[in-house]
Amino acid sequence: MVKDHHDEPYDEGTRLKLDLFADYVTSWLPVFIHTPFITNISIYDFFSGPGCDLNGVPGSPLRIAQIVNNKFQEQLHEKDKQVAAVFNDKAPKKVLSLQERLESAQSDCFQAHVQCNEFSDAFLEHLPSMKKQGHANLVLLDPTGFHWHPEDIQRIAAIKCTDWIAFIPSNYALRFKKLESIKKCWPKLHEESMTNKNSTRVIAEHLKEEYLPTDHLVAHFGIKKSGGRSHGVLFGSNSWKGLEKFIEQCWKADPHNGAASYELEGDIKDTGQPLLIEMPHGSKLRNFKRSFQSEILSGKIQTNKDAYEYTLKAACLPKHASEVLSDLKKHKKIKYSDSKSPTAVKKLSMSFKAIFQDRKIQNIEIE
């Protein structure tokens, strides 16, 4: 029987998971508040729980309510919009508890609907609404245990203007990956070489390869739970901007790798002392800078758009790419030019706005 974490104080891993989610909500909301063609903003939490832990520490529903009411009331009023939240749980006791806690949170800019259903029933009920034109959705799947199917993510990923965050007990998949019930949901996962440290990455890659369109953008973050167990945060979006905002929160939580709340293989232990040779402590960042430089000098990355997309797919930030580009330009290995004219460019634009909204495409030329 799976232990219910709502019946005890949240451990450090759960608090980090909730912080990561809350930070993403905070960065996600203003995008759609200020997008003219979006008329409805909805957040769906299909495994909401009672709203807090044994000690009253807020869970995802109360954090969503606090973020909307405390940070975005003025912007929502200005744009004449509101945030609608759907909170579902199959346990009547938890639903009743959550309803009581959310009573004071209802406002003219935040409306919460609490219901008691099995996940599959609740998901199918709200799926048509998610697909409506002008709707922007954020879907959270955070069950106690292993209770969503990859095909659920597949259906969510097909909806426009919809991001999703799913939590998964990676250690469970690692331990029981050869069980038929796991094989049915995750074909070929049992063939993968998994460890406690790479299990979240392997699951994310497997989900994308087996179930999702090639252009759907996926990221992940590993979390160390009590007892050394590993859990995973999986994220998906159809928007480069959504992906970048999630990756920003990952690097905020893990300044060395942007990947996990534990060290990765190949990391240099941070002693607090400066290194004799400037080198990132995190193995992921070192590997990225090496591969990114190679892709540029081989001519595979030819524009700022290529560089931006390659960087985010590697779960790194544009500033990490800019460091490599600046160094190569300084050593006269590359130069920049405007794609619309032969004019030389001093600095490469590496922002979503410049590339996708302003269509400012610049060339990277090998000298």
> 309 by DSSP, 3-state: which?
helix
pLDDT reported for residue 360: 94
Phi then psi for residue 271, to 5 deg, are -95, -5
- Residue 110 to residue 178: CA distance in whole angstroms: 44
Q: What is the predicted pLDDT for the residue at 219?
A: 97
CA-to-CA distance for 56 and 355, rounded, in angstroms?
Answer: 44
Is the per-residue pLDDT at 269 higher than 80?
no
CA distance 75 to 11: 34
Q: Of 315, 268, 260, nearest to 292 (Cα)?
A: 315
- DSSP-derived letter for residue 229 is -
Enter the CATH code of domain 5-253: 3.40.50.150
pLDDT, one tens digit per residue, over 96-107 is: 999 999 999 999
| Per-residue pLDDT, 147 | 72
Least confident of 83-97, 244-258, 268-282, 345-359: 268-282
Measured at the CA of 200, the angle between CA 196 and CA 202, to 5 degrees, comes to 95
pLDDT of the residue at 231: 87
Q: Between residues 116 and 269, which one has the greater pLDDT?
A: 116
Distances (CA, A) of 82 to 21, 263, 312: 20, 41, 31
Neighbouring CB atoms inside 10 A of 27's CB total: 15
**Rg of the chain on CA atoms, in Å:** 22
C-alpha separations of 99 from 25, 51, 95, 166, 224 in Å: 21, 9, 6, 23, 31
Decide the pairing of beta strands 135-141 and 162-168: parallel
Confidence (pLDDT) at 326: 94
If one compares 270 and 347, the residue with the highest pLDDT of the two is 347
Q: pLDDT digits over 310-336, tens only?
A: 999 999 999 999 999 999 999 999 999
- Cβ contact 72:82 at 8 Å: no
* Domain coordinates in residue numbering, the chain: 5-253, 283-366
Neighbours of 94 (CB within 10 A): 20
Q: Is the pLDDT of residue 249 over 90?
A: yes
pLDDT tens string 102-150: 999 999 999 999 999 999 999 999 999 999 999 999 999 998 766 788 9
| Confidence (pLDDT) at 230 | 80
Q: Is 111 helix (H, G, I), strand (E, B) or coil?
A: strand
What's the mean pLDDT when you consider all of the chain?
A: 90
The pTM score is 0.91
Residue 246 has pLDDT above 80, yes or no: yes
